[in-house]
Amino acid sequence: MKTIQIRSEIPGPKSKALVARKDAAIPRGPALVTPVCAAKAEGAWIEDLDGNRYIDFAGGIGCLNSGHRAPRVTNALREQVDRFLHLCFGVTPYESYVALAEKLNALAPISGPKKTMFINSGAEAVENAVKIARAYTKRPAVIAFEDAFHGRTLLTMSLTSKIVPYKAGFAPFAAEVYRVPFAYCYRCSYSKTYPSCEVYCAKHLEDTFRRVVDPNTVAAIIAEPVLGEGGFVAPPKEFFPILREICNKYGIVLIADEVQSGIARTGKWFAIEHFGVEPDLITTAKSMGGGLPIGGVTGRAEIMDAPGPGGLGSTFAGNPMSCVAALAALETIEKDGLLERSAAIGKRFADRVNGWKKRFTMIGEVRALGGMCAFELVKDADTREPAGAETKELAKYAYEHGVITITAGTLGNVMRILVPLVVTDEQFDEAMDVLEAGLAYVSEKKETVASHA
């Protein structure tokens, strides 16, 4: 039996009723990507209130690499319920927090002694990483990248690049944040071509230090090893080694924001491992919790110890339910071979979509670093004009035909895949069939409109 079982109109009456209640009770800020209201989920599928079943290519925006209701996670939570639900770690510590910190210290691609602290979300992890870097260096400034997303708190919103919807109307922003172009080769900010550019974007930081900000005032450079919200863009292999050299030269802390790209999403525990460099600090969240909220900062012990006692923490930081869920999620990834599965998903995706690229001129670029997969849609292959409306229409077609997806990109023209890594080949291929049919539908509609223009 196929996973996709559409048994009523989309959205169905029960979903419509709940969305109406949502509109009456909840402000418009927390917007909906789809009008599909979940009733239950398992592995890589979701069933809505009306009994329609979908393959989940969104994964709670990258929070479910180990799958919906992973058995080890749910068992760990049931056992923890019988012990205690909340004890502030700063008042009465508990073993699962310490065990999880030890586990991340062992996994982190950083040599030497390491330490880890926990917080409630990815944004809080980034915020604390910056605090730690500032305490260590005694410097105020932070350099972030264009097309980056780091969160929605004041500091992380300031670090985030995209204006609408994340920053519009929320000024003033935090001070001492400076932004430079990322290595987005498909849309190079300097109109250069890789590899003849010699990774000019990274080397151009030296000019930034001459014209914009004194490097001796810079505490940290923060970068997503693969842009998340910015479109799943991976830089050339030379990009991060150059950043590492620059950080070493000026005593700057290099922060790898692995909130979305980490915890097996790219086929390695951390995406930065693909680039052969060691960051000083790594932020984690999303899939670390196996479906529960938790964020973390892992880094070199001497840097992590820079803030004084009480300088870091939160009432719910490292909640015991989230800690046992995270330990179980990490165990699931290890014992069920999900690193290898992520790499296989990436290859399966790339092989399929590169084939589509010959058929659909709308596909401008295909991206797949392990299971962190995407394709960028354009109106014209030569001009690379972004096809934002068409991307939105493709996402709508997908959920109307049984696949939950989310878009990405500063220009709103990237279809990204964050499917739980436990997805079966059959489920994955079914969902890809829907996307292929959706591309055909959107392309035909686009050509029809053009012919009548």
Complete domains list, the chain, with CATH: 1-37 (no CATH), 73-335 (3.40.640.10), 337-453 (3.90.1150.10)
Please list the ranges in the chain whose pLDDT falls under 70.
Answer: 1-2, 7, 449-453
Task: Give CA separation, 369 vs 186, 227, 270, 334, 339, in Å.
Answer: 16, 11, 11, 19, 12
- Which residue has 């109106």 as its token pair? 379
- Per-residue pLDDT, 451: 65
- Which residue has 């939105």 as its token pair? 392
Please give the structure tokens belonging to residue 158.
Answer: 């300031």
Q: Is 92 exposed, middle or buried (0-12, 13-18, 19+ CB in 10 A)?
A: exposed
Nearest-CA neighbor of 238 among 265, 286, 198, 209? 198
- The answer to whether the peptide bond before residue 13 is cis (omega within 30 degrees of 0) is no
Nearest-CA neighbor of 338 among 55, 73, 123? 73
- The answer to whether the peptide bond before residue 93 is cis (omega within 30 degrees of 0) is no
Cβ pair 181, 145 in contact under 8 A: yes
Q: Answer whether 0.85 is exceeded by the pTM.
A: yes
Cβ pair 422, 44 in contact under 8 A: yes
Please give the structure tokens belonging to residue 244.
Answer: 């590492």
- Per-residue pLDDT, 1: 43
Q: What angle in degrees, to the nearest 10, is found between the helix axes of 388-400 and 425-451?
A: 130
Beta strands 53-56 and 45-48, pairing class: antiparallel
- Per-residue pLDDT, 30: 94
